């Protein structure tokens, strides 16, 4: 073996070579002898040998010190900075939205969104504006191009029907030429309206059947087909409260606070009555006031939304025959047979009623109300629904009312935007096929699937650490989470031209008769609904169209749905840092997943059936956990008006659970993949970027009127509190932003459900 040589501090004799088997190739000797032998050996060594040994020891110590220094330097070194075009672009967007003058520990919403709010005054014609609206406008522009490009290679007749429907909506000259005639003729066909002419007389049940079955209105109550909550494999007729012209009962009952809206609504009613043939404004106003008073009586018996949440309490299954005893004012069997024609029904047909006391009271109200007023009210429901389909006078009148109702600044919204929204509402899956083919990258499905799997894993990890839940319920909850079905992008049938055409086979649209097209669609929709009654619920039947910028959880199907419209920036971008994607679409996924376990979703088992599958001890513990959140959000106010902590509870649980699951999933991703590059100039860590990305999804502005409407109708908290409510419950947020205990974003008392 060759001699191992190295530099020394002094001249020395070379070391003898080691015998075979006594050492390693690098020259280090292995010595197992005891200390006494070592001392004897040391005494025999020459001075030069001793100096050499000391020198080697010093060099070893220096080498170890250097290695440790390198390790610590590597650990302390900031992560690499991403300087790609995509990273520079997203950095610019984030930077322009921030307000660095605000302390993030004092008000994280203003810190994250202050710059955005200053740069985004409300556009004319809008009562609210935010990320969702911006993205929807982008999607609308794409749909406009697709619907107007009639020479494009569309692959199905259904898509051509969507184009013709849109063309008819855009045919303003024909609409202006017809003026109010289509609706006037329809009213005459239904027996007349005392406001605009002669009324045929006592035909209450006949008119109720017609306006409900053929024109999709819901005077007095709503009737529809959906999965039976206690037997989710079958559909059933369902009945619930309905019939108010304004968005909430509160508008009618708090008259002083809402006087401006009530006056604006009455003026709108009078204007429409006059356009449709009312000859005497005083008489028209008097009769419209009677309708408004009747709607106020309906509002008085309408159950408040926060008391209409517990489905275990409000679910009442009975037969169609039982309805006659419950609400005798309605001739139920002819009514249901007309609404669900041609399906054959008898008195043993099961019906689920969600507003039993309301139906009893509305029946009494009908029986004690003048028949002429009842007819005026039912026809008003039809007029309110169909007047936007008529000439410009009707749209101007509605716009004027919207100014009062929502505080919008007057502007002439481009006709094409109205027509895009209407086409999406009615033929959205035919239009959705075109949208998906033009915009949706198929590998986005794979990315979304991976994200959902990571969020599910994180949620289930949190489930394991919950202190308040018993083991048996925890096991069942994990099974439910595992069973949640993912629907991403679009329902499969829309990409098969034959299947898509089969769905829309019985609907026809012509290019120049918009009002008739819509009426035909109402009839077509009613037949589709009736057909579903004898079929099991279908996973391919979505509640949102593919271009929609939103997502949802279906409790009876135990599925989460993410339309193609939301799977894009700022929620998800392939080139963005993972911190932003987890803070964006990751929180959205976590939000929808948590809905399976909110105050309503938790009542459904893994198969989508409403049943008590929790142990009582865990039910009581859950309710105790939610009290904290009800109080927390109930203390937030907008313009002096409090958030309804009970009404918003489900969404607040989902917001908090979604943020927590997405954060944990991002942590897991980093453990698996290592640190990612950070963004330049921001001075934010990737964890801080996660929270900023989450908050900036909710940057928005609203008029005071729109904020008021949101507080009394929307089950979601206002955007500001969706941000500060969740981050102030997050210990991780407080740590990453070094928020002092007791600061607004790091309160000592935190609420947690999941």
Rounded to the nearest angstrom, the gap between the alpha carbon of residue 375 and the centroid of all alpha carbons in its chain is: 38
Q: What is the mean pLDDT of residues 89-109?
A: 94
pLDDT beyond 60 at 77: no
Please choose, from the candidates 696, 689, 524, 532, the residue with its C-alpha nearest in 3D space to the C-alpha of residue 130. 696
Q: What is the pLDDT of residue 754?
A: 92
Specify whether the CB–CB gap between 234 and 320 falls below 8 A. Answer: no
- Specify whether 91 is located in the same domain as 230: no
Rounded to the nearest angstrom, the gap between the alpha carbon of residue 373 and the centroid of all alpha carbons in its chain is: 39
Q: What is the pLDDT of residue 65?
A: 61
- Specify whether 383 is located in the same domain as 301: yes
Q: What is the pLDDT of residue 647?
A: 94
CA distance 447 to 214: 43
Specify whether the CB–CB gap between 474 and 459 falls below 8 A. Answer: no
Per-residue pLDDT tens digits for 550-564: 999 999 999 999 999
What are the helix (H) ranges across 237-355? 249-253, 259-275, 281-301, 311-314, 320-326, 332-339
Per-residue pLDDT tens digits for 618-635: 999 999 999 999 999 999
Range of 253's domain? 192-390
Q: What is the pLDDT of residue 32?
A: 29
pLDDT beyond 70 at 305: yes
- Specify whether 589 is located in the same domain as 688: yes
Task: Tell me the CB-side half-sphere exposure of residue 42, using CA atoms within 13 A.
Answer: 10
Q: What is the mean pLDDT of residues 115-126?
A: 92
Q: What is the pLDDT of residue 56?
A: 64
Percent of the chain with pLDDT over 90: 78
Q: What is the pLDDT of residue 124?
A: 85
> How is 456-499 classified by DSSP, letter by letter?
HHHHHHHHHH-SSS-HHHHHHHHHHHHHPEEEEES-GGGGSHHH
Helix (H, G, I), strand (E, B) or coil at 634: helix
- Specify whether 253 is located in the same domain as 311: yes
CATH of residue 214's domain is 1.10.1380.10
- Specify whether 235 is located in the same domain as 321: yes
Q: What is the pLDDT of residue 461?
A: 92
Buried b / exposed e along 600-617 (16+ C-beta atoms within 10 A): bbbbbbbebbbeebbbee
Q: Is residue 611 part of a domain?
A: yes
Give the β-pairing of 559-563 and 641-642: unpaired
- Specify whether 584 is located in the same domain as 642: yes
Per DSSP, 528 falls in state H
The CA-to-CA distance between both ends of the chain, in Å, stands at 67
Q: What is the pLDDT of residue 130?
A: 94
Which residue, chain included where needed, has tokens 């981050």? 727
pTM over 0.95: no
Please choose, from the candidates 490, 669, 456, 693, the residue with its C-alpha nearest in 3D space to the C-alpha of residue 572. 693
Lowest mean pLDDT among 258-272, 401-415, 642-656, 682-696: 401-415
- Specify whether 463 is located in the same domain as 580: yes
Q: What is the mean pLDDT of residues 212-231?
A: 96
Q: Is residue 54 part of a domain?
A: yes
Q: Is residue 126 part of a domain?
A: no
Residues involved in catalysis: 592, 655
> How is 573-633 classified by DSSP, letter by letter?
-TTS-HHHHIIIIIHHHHHHHHHTTSTTGGGB-TTS-BS--S-HHHHHHHHHHHHHHHHHH
- Specify whether 100 is located in the same domain as 221: no
pLDDT beyond 80 at 13: no
Domain boundary pick from 45, 77, 109 = 77
CA distance 163 to 235: 32
Per-residue pLDDT tens digits for 375-408: 999 999 999 999 999 999 999 999 999 999 999 8
pLDDT beyond 70 at 66: no
What are the helix (H) ranges across 596-729? 616-634, 649-673, 686-696, 704-713, 719-727
Domain boundary pick from 390, 419, 450 = 390
Confidence of residue 429 (pLDDT cuts 50, 70, 90): very high
Measured CA angle at 431 (ends 426, 434), to 5 deg: 175
Helix (H, G, I), strand (E, B) or coil at 252: helix
Measured CA angle at 641 (ends 635, 645), to 5 deg: 40
Q: Is residue 318 part of a domain?
A: yes
CA distance 652 to 716: 7
Q: What is the mean pLDDT of residues 20-41?
A: 36
pLDDT beyond 50 at 12: no
Q: What is the mean pLDDT of residues 137-166?
A: 92
The larger pLDDT score, comparing residue 680 to residue 55, is at: 680
Q: What is the mean pLDDT of residues 113-125?
A: 93
Specify whether the CB–CB gap between 724 and 113 falls below 8 A. Answer: no
pLDDT beyond 80 at 298: yes
Rounded to the nearest 10°, the torsion over CA 658, 659, 661, 662 is: 110
Lowest mean pLDDT among 124-128, 384-388, 430-434: 124-128
Task: Tell me the CB-side half-sphere exposure of residue 242, using CA atoms within 13 A.
Answer: 17
Confidence of residue 3 (pLDDT cuts 50, 70, 90): very low
CA distance 612 to 607: 13
Q: Which neighbouring-strand residues pair with 235?
A: 227
Which residue, chain included where needed, has tokens 């109930």? 634
- Specify whether 479 is located in the same domain as 590: yes
Q: Is residue 28 part of a domain?
A: yes
pLDDT beyond 80 at 73: no
The larger pLDDT score, comparing residue 17 to residue 537, is at: 537
CATH of residue 601's domain is 3.40.390.10
Q: What is the pLDDT of residue 382?
A: 97
| Total tally of structural domains belonging to the chain | 3
Q: What is the pLDDT of residue 478?
A: 94
- Specify whether 336 is located in the same domain as 228: yes
CA distance 357 to 364: 11
Q: What is the pLDDT of residue 78?
A: 63
Q: Is residue 741 part of a domain?
A: no
pLDDT beyond 80 at 600: yes
Q: Is residue 162 part of a domain?
A: no
CA distance 567 to 574: 10
What are the helix (H) ranges across 34-130? 35-44, 47-76, 85-97, 108-119
Buried b / exposed e along 149-166 (16+ C-beta atoms within 10 A): eeeeebbbebbebbbbbb
Rg (CA), the chain: 34
Give the β-pairing of 552-554 and 485-489: unpaired
- Specify whether 198 is located in the same domain as 306: yes
Rounded to the nearest 10°, the torsion over CA 51, 56, 60, 61 is: 0
Q: What is the pLDDT of residue 518?
A: 97
Confidence of residue 33 (pLDDT cuts 50, 70, 90): very low
Q: What is the mean pLDDT of residues 474-481?
A: 94
Q: Is residue 171 part of a domain?
A: no
Angstrom CA distances, 295 to 50, 254, 263, 552, 713, stand at: 105, 14, 14, 31, 17
The larger pLDDT score, comparing residue 574 to residue 44, is at: 574
Confidence of residue 611 (pLDDT cuts 50, 70, 90): very high
- Specify whether 245 is located in the same domain as 383: yes
Confidence of residue 62 (pLDDT cuts 50, 70, 90): low
pLDDT beyond 50 at 23: no
Q: What is the mean pLDDT of residues 648-675?
A: 95
| Cβ-Cβ contacts under 8 Å for 461 (sequence gap 6 or more) | 664
Confidence of residue 61 (pLDDT cuts 50, 70, 90): low
CA distance 322 to 473: 37
């Amino acid at each position: 073996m060759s001699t191992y040589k190295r530099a020394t501090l002094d001249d020395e004799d070379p070391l003898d070579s080691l015998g075979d088997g006594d050492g390693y190739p690098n020259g280090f000797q292995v010595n197992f002898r005891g200390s006494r032998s070592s001392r004897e050996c040391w005494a025999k060594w020459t001075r030069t040998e001793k100096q050499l040994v000391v020198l080697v020891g010093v060099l070893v110590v220096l080498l170890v010190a250097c290695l440790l220094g390198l390790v610590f330097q590597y650990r302390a070194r900031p992560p690499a900075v991403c300087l790609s075009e995509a990273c520079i672009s997203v950095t610019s967007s984030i930077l322009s939205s921030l307000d660095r003058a605000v302390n993030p520990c004092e008000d994280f919403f203003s810190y994250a969104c202050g710059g955005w709010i200053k740069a985004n005054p409300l556009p004319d014609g809008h009562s609210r504006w935010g990320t969702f609206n911006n993205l929807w406008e982008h999607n609308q522009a794409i749909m406009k191009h697709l619907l107007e490009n009639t020479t494009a290679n569309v692959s199905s007749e259904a898509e051509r029907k969507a184009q013709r429907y849109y063309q008819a909506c855009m045919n303003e000259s024909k609409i202006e030429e017809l003026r109010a005639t289509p609706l006037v003729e329809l009213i005459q066909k239904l027996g007349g309206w005392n406001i605009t002419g002669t009324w045929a007389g006592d035909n209450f049940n006949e008119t109720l059947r017609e306006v409900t079955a053929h024109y999709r209105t819901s005077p007095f109550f709503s009737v529809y087909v959906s999965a039976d909550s206690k037997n989710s494999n079958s559909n059933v007729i369902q009945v619930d409260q309905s019939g108010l012209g304004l968005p909430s009962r509160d508008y009618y009952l708090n008259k002083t606070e809402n006087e401006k809206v009530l006056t604006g609504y009455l003026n709108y009613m009078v204007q429409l009555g006059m356009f449709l043939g009312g000859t005497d404004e005083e008489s028209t106003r008097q009769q419209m006031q009677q309708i408004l008073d009747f709607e106020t009586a309906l509002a008085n018996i309408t159950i408040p939304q926060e008391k209409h949440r517990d489905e275990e309490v409000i679910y009442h299954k009975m037969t169609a025959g039982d309805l006659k005893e419950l609400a005798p004012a309605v001739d139920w069997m002819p009514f249901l047979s007309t609404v669900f024609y041609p399906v054959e029904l008898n008195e043993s047909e099961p019906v689920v009623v969600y507003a039993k006391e309301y139906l009893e009271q509305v029946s009494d109200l009908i029986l004690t109300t003048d028949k002429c007023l009842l007819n005026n009210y039912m026809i008003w429901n039809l007029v309110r629904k169909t007047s936007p389909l008529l000439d410009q006078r009707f749209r101007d009148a509605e716009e004027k009312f919207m100014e009062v109702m929502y505080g919008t600044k007057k502007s002439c919204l481009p006709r094409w935007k109205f027509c895009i929204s209407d086409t999406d509402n009615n033929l959205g899956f035919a239009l959705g096929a075109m949208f998906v083919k033009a915009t949706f990258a198929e590998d986005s499905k794979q990315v979304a699937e991976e994200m959902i799997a990571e969020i599910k894993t994180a949620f289930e990890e949190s489930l394991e650490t919950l202190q308040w839940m018993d083991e048996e319920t925890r096991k069942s909850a994990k099974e439910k989470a595992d069973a949640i079905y993912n629907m991403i992008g679009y329902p499969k049938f829309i990409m098969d031209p034959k299947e898509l055409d089969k769905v829309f086979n019985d609907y026809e649209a012509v290019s120049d008769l918009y009002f008739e097209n819509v009426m035909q669609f109402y009839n077509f929709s009613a037949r589709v609904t009736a057909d579903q009654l004898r079929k099991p619920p279908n996973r391919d039947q979505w509640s949102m169209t593919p271009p929609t910028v939103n997502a949802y959880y279906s409790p009876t199907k135990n599925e989460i749905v993410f339309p193609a419209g939301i799977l894009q920036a700022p929620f998800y971008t392939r080139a963005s840092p993972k911190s932003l994607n987890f803070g964006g679409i990751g929180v959205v996924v976590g939000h929808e997943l948590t809905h399976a376990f909110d105050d309503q979703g938790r009542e459904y088992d893994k198969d989508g059936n409403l049943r008590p599958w929790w142990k009582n001890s865990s039910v009581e513990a859950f309710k105790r956990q939610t009290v904290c959140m009800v109080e927390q959000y109930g203390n937030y106010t907008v313009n002096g008006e409090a958030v309804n902590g009970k009404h918003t509870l489900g969404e607040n649980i989902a917001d908090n659970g979604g943020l927590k699951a997405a954060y944990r999933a991002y942590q897991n991703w980093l453990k698996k993949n290592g640190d990612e590059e950070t963004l330049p100039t921001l001075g934010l860590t990737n964890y801080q970027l996660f929270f900023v990305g989450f908050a900036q999804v909710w940057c928005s502005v609203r008029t005071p009127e729109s904020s008021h409407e949101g507080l009394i109708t929307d089950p979601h908290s206002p955007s500001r509190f969706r941000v500060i409510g969740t981050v102030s419950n997050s210990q991780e947020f407080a740590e990453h932003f070094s928020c002092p205990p007791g600061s607004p974003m790091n309160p000592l008392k935190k609420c947690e459900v999941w």
